[in-house]
């Protein structure tokens, strides 16, 4: 209590201005224009794979089949005789390559038959009939706008914005092949609340949350920032509309600490962190901060950390020293921002506390429906700031937590740090104060890494 | 577990049986007393593994090259005991370790892992006629893998993994021989053939440490050996055998060549 009293005295000096003030919402585009161009959006576009995620699982090659490529000079008649000698049956011939898809007898394995055929002097190549799969790509209609998750070099749909550099992303589609998260993993969005009716969020919340700014039990967003952040972290994914969230299947615990002006008192922030840690949060996203240190804020972070809650906090958008609570290095991941070219943004805060970076410029997120002119706009917006970067990291932390619940918060933080791509190695090799260990990489953090001799 | 129990019982049976007096009507002449032979043995095996896991992107497999010195002691004709000491080189494919902080995968690009090979073999004639004979043979081999270290690629800091596979193979079954040819004795060796073991992989990336032990076992517990003993002289013998290990959706195989010289 004494701590809180002290807090109330310094509250006016320590008002937190959400990094929302630094992030610029820009409406994705006018819905009318979009409707004219693609009148079927959200209506008649069919779900791929019956709405189910396409999973890259199962065998690596077709059982009982081998592909055999004969030398061009070998005649069809001779090929047929050769295949018969090996007790194989032709399924298909690809004449351009003199390539045969054959069924092998039950008594032989694919490897044995491929090896046996490859020893034949008339055969150029024999091997398994490998299986290719469509990458795990969600069917959310605006996924193509999410360069941060899958950057193909697409044009960013913001006036004046250039195309990004292909591969300058967090490798979400490959990461999702290994893990899409589980509903048991909860990401607390400690922010300005969320829009509970948003089509990409309404099925993703654990409860109505907690509102410390207005002292009630309904964390409805009256600013827009929290809704935006929540969508980047864990929007409903593969639901045929809107955007994809990093933590595909994880749930959101909304905790409102910032008012409609985007201002949060440290007291509410501390309350919010403690409450989230005590109410089932596995990961906490803090896309906010102030420039003043505070021991109680640090202790609240330590409390959450000691309960094995992973905390991701925005470094700040002022091109200055890292803000608080991100600067409490031992207890949270401080997140800087990179852009669509994998370059650090010139406004991202820096310092030894920066752990990692994530996309933070023109990032598409959810936006409250009741703050959107729904006749003209979709309830989504592009935003910029370390506020946008942080939920990428929180989402990844949630996926790791769901995949490996036995890991401690410290271990998950290390996994995220060390799996990052050192995208500014040309200027600063190794860990540096600008993007820390680098831009996060979901593939390396989640997918088994092949060991080679 | 059930297979291992059956195997132990079978091996005990073979040993007890081997210690019993020679069979009535046994064809082999009892002209020599006990004797030693020594030689070399080379083998290759390729076995599909059962990891008892749901997620398997690649069918897990183990191949191994085996080389050993063999010392055989013949207690009496038709009853011998051999010991093997040597080296094994095992290669694995499709082993994913997902309980480590960073999931790691061992595949054929990970290279082979050396190990010490120890083995024992007991063989006893059971029935014998002029042309056909029945022996019973039991074998046990253990490959005690040596630690192999890899660098973990692609991380922002140095990281390494250290792995050590240990596997065992036990087989027991009747050997059906044809003795009608001079100098060559072809045989069929249908057998219960069980492979099991584990692969332990540790990971160190700065303070991030983890270790995972994965149980492995062969997909098929049965095999059929086809081979022959070649008696080049009274003191030099060569045995060659090919093993077929049927499993669901395919077949695994093994080969063995062994020479023995009387001391």
pLDDT digits (tens, 9 = 90+) for A185-234: 999 999 999 999 999 999 999 999 999 999 999 999 999 999 999 999 99
Q: Is residue A452 part of a domain?
A: no
Q: Is residue A56 part of a domain?
A: no
Contact A245, A233 (CB under 8 A): yes
Q: Is residue A54 part of a domain?
A: no
Q: Render each residue's pLDDT in chain B as its tens digit; 263 residues.
A: 555 555 555 555 555 454 554 444 444 444 445 589 999 999 999 999 988 776 566 789 999 999 999 999 998 888 999 999 999 999 999 999 999 999 999 999 999 999 999 999 999 999 877 789 999 999 999 999 999 999 999 999 999 999 999 999 999 999 999 988 989 999 999 999 999 999 999 999 999 999 999 999 999 899 999 999 999 988 899 999 999 999 887 899 999 999 999 98
Helix (H) or strand (E) holding B223: strand B222-231
Is B156–A414 a contact, with Cβ atoms under 8 angstroms apart?
no
Q: Is residue A396 part of a domain?
A: yes
A280-304 as b/e, with b when 16 or more CB fall inside 10 Å? ebbbbbbbbbbbeebebbbbbbbbb
Q: Structure tokens of B98? A: 């997902």
Residues forming a β-bridge with B97: B104
- For B102, the closest of A410, A431, A449 (CB atoms) is A449
CA nearest to A230, candidates A221, A241, A239: A221
Which tops the pLDDT comparison, B33 or A38? B33
**Alpha-carbon gap, residue A400 to A442, rounded angstroms:** 9
**Alpha-carbon gap, residue A35 to B182, rounded angstroms:** 90
Host domain of residue A366 = 2-49+137-446
We report the CATH number of the domain holding residue A79 as 3.30.70.80
Contact A320, A340 (CB under 8 A): no
Q: What is the DSSP letter of A350?
A: B
The maximal CA–CA distance of chain A, rounded, in angstroms, is 94
Q: Structure tokens of B245? A: 């290990």
Contact A226, A258 (CB under 8 A): yes
Q: Which of A85, A112, A130 corresponds to the end of one domain?
A: A130
- For B154, the closest of A110, A404, A444 (CB atoms) is A444
Residues A84 and A212 in one domain: no
| pLDDT in the model for residue A3 | 40
Q: Structure tokens of A304? A: 């959450």
Torsion of CA A69, A75, A81, A86, to 10 degrees: -10
* Residue A60 at interface with chain B, using a CB cutoff of 8 Å: yes
3-class secondary-structure state, position B21: coil
Residues forming a β-bridge with B125: B135
Give the count of domains, chain A: 2
Residues A246 and A386 in one domain: yes
Under the banding of pLDDT at 50, 70 and 90, the label for residue A21 is: very low
Q: Is residue A397 part of a domain?
A: yes
CA nearest to A189, candidates A271, A111, A251, A120: A251
Is A419–B97 a contact, with Cβ atoms under 8 angstroms apart?
no
3-class secondary-structure state, position A112: helix
CA–CA distances in Å: residue B208 to residues A326, A418, B214: 22, 10, 20
Rounded to a whole number, what is the distance in Å from the CA of A307 to chain B's nearest CA? 19
Establish whether A296 is a catalytic residue.
no
Q: Which of A130, A163, A185 corresponds to the end of one domain?
A: A130
Under the banding of pLDDT at 50, 70 and 90, the label for residue A410 is: very high
CATH of B2-262, one of 3.10.620, 2.40.128, 1.10.3470, 1.10.600: 2.40.128
| Those residues with Cβ within 8 angstroms of residue B100's Cβ, 6 or more apart along the chain or in another chain | B161, B201, B203, B210, B211, B212
- For B154, the closest of A110, A446, A449 (CB atoms) is A449
Rounded to a whole number, what is the distance in Å from the CA of B71 to chain A's nearest CA? 33
User: Which sequence spans correspond to the domains of chain B?
Assistant: 2-262
CA nearest to A14, candidates A226, A293, A319: A293
Contact A233, A189 (CB under 8 A): yes
3-class secondary-structure state, position A162: coil
Residues A436 and A302 in one domain: yes
Contact A366, A230 (CB under 8 A): yes
Determine the residue among B45, B98, B108, B155 to mutate to test chain A binding: the one whose Cβ has the most chain A Cβ atoms within 10 Å.
Answer: B155
- For A448, the closest of B104, B150, B249 (CB atoms) is B104
Contact A249, A401 (CB under 8 A): no
Residues A18 and A123 in one domain: no
Q: Is residue A453 part of a domain?
A: no
Q: Structure tokens of B204? A: 């160190």
Establish whether A387 is a catalytic residue.
yes
Which tops the pLDDT comparison, A142 or A134? A142
From the list A191, A221, A236, A355, the catalytic residue is A191
Residues A8 and A148 in one domain: yes
Is B106–A404 a contact, with Cβ atoms under 8 angstroms apart?
no
Q: Structure tokens of B230? A: 């070649």
Residues forming a β-bridge with B38: B71, B261
Q: Structure tokens of A46? A: 């069919």
CA–CA distances in Å: residue A97 to residues A62, A70, A94, A329, B232: 20, 8, 6, 59, 50
Distance between start and end Cα atoms, chain B: 40
Q: Least CA distance to A178: which residue of chain B? A: B55
Residues A227 and A97 in one domain: no
Q: Is residue A332 part of a domain?
A: yes
Q: Which of A113, A130, A147 corresponds to the end of one domain?
A: A130
Residues A155 and A267 in one domain: yes
**Alpha-carbon gap, residue B231 to B246, rounded angstroms:** 30
Residue recorded with tokens 């509102």? A211
We report the CATH number of the domain holding residue A254 as 3.40.50.200
Residues A73 and A220 in one domain: no
Mean pLDDT to the nearest integer, A387-406: 97
Alpha helix (H) residue ranges in chain B? 2-19
């Amino acid at each position: 209590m004494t701590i809180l009293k002290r807090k109330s005295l310094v509250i006016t000096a320590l008002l937190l201005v959400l990094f929302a003030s630094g992030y610029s919402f820009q409406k994705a585009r006018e819905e009318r224009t979009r409707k004219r161009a693609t009148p079927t959006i959200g209506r008649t576009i069919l779900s791929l794979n019956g709405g189910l995620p396409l999973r890259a699982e199962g065998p690596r090659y077709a059982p009982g089949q081998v592909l055999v490529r004969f030398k061009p000079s070998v005649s069809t008649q001779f090929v047929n005789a050769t295949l018969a000698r090996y007790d194989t049956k032709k399924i298909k011939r690809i004449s351009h390559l003199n390539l045969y898809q054959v069924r092998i007898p039950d008594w032989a394995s694919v490897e044995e038959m491929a090896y046996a055929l490859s020893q034949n002097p008339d055969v150029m190549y024999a091997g398994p009939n490998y299986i290719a799969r469509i990458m795990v790509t969600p069917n959310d209609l605006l996924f193509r706008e999410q360069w941060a998750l899958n950057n193909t070099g697409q044009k960013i749909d913001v006036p004046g914005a250039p195309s990004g550099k292909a591969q300058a992303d967090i490798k979400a589609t490959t990461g999702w092949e290994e893990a899409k998260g589980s509903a048991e993993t909860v990401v607390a969005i400690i922010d300005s609340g969320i829009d509970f009716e948003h089509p990409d969020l309404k099925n993703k919340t654990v409860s109505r949350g907690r509102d410390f700014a207005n002292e009630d039990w309904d964390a409805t967003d009256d600013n827009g920032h929290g809704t935006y952040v929540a969508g980047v972290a864990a929007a409903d994914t593969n639901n045929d509309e809107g955007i994809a969230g990093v933590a595909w299947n994880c749930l959101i615990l909304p905790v409102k600490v910032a008012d409609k002006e985007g201002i949060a008192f440290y007291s509410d922030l501390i309350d919010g962190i403690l409450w989230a840690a005590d109410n089932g949060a596995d990961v906490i996203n803090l896309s906010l901060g102030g420039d003043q240190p505070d021991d109680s804020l640090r202790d609240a972070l330590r409390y959450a950390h000691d309960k094995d809650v992973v905390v991701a906090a925005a470094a700040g958008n002022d091109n200055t020293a890292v803000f608080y609570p991100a600067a409490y290095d031992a207890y949270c991941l401080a997140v800087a921002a990179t852009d669509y070219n994998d370059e650090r943004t010139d406004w991202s805060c820096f310092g030894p506390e920066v752990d990692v970076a994530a996309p933070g410029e023109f990032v598409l997120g959810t936006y409250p429906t009741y703050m959107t002119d729904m006749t003209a706009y979709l309830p989504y917006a592009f935003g910029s700031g370390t506020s946008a970067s942080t939920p990428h990291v929180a989402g990844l932390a949630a996926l790791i937590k769901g995949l490996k619940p036995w890991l401690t918060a410290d271990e998950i933080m290390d996994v995220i740090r060390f799996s990052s791509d050192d995208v500014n190695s040309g200027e600063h090799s190794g860990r540096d104060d600008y993007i820390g260990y680098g831009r996060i990489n979901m593939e390396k953090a989640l997918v088994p890494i092949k060991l080679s001799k | 577990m059930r297979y291992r129990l059956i195997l132990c019982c079978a091996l005990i049976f073979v040993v007890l049986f081997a210690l019993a007096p020679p069979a009535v009507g046994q064809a082999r002449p009892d002209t020599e007393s006990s004797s030693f032979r020594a030689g070399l043995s080379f083998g290759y095996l390729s076995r599909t593994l059962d990891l008892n896991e749901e997620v398997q992107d690649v069918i897990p497999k183990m191949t191994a090259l085996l080389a050993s010195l063999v010392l055989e002691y013949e207690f009496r004709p038709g009853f011998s005991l051999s010991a093997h000491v040597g080296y094994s080189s095992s290669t694995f494919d499709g082993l994913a370790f997902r309980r480590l902080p960073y999931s790691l995968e061992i595949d054929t690009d990970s290279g082979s892992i050396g190990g010490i090979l120890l083995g024992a073999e007991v063989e006893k004639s059971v029935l014998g006629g002029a042309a056909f004979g029945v022996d019973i043979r039991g074998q046990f081999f253990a490959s005690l893998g040596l630690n192999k270290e890899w660098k973990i690629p692609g991380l922002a800091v140095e990281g390494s993994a250290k792995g050590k596979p240990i596997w065992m193979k036990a087989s027991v079954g009747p050997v059906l021989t044809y003795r009608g040819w001079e100098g060559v004795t072809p045989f069929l060796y249908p057998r219960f053939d069980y492979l099991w073991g584990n692969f332990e992989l540790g990971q160190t990336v700065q303070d991030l440490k983890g270790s995972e032990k994965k149980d492995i076992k062969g997909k098929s517990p049965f095999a059929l050996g086809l081979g022959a003993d070649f008696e080049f002289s009274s003191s030099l013998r060569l045995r060659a055998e090919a093993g077929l290990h049927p499993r669901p959706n395919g077949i695994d195989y093994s080969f063995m060549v062994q020479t023995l010289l009387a001391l």
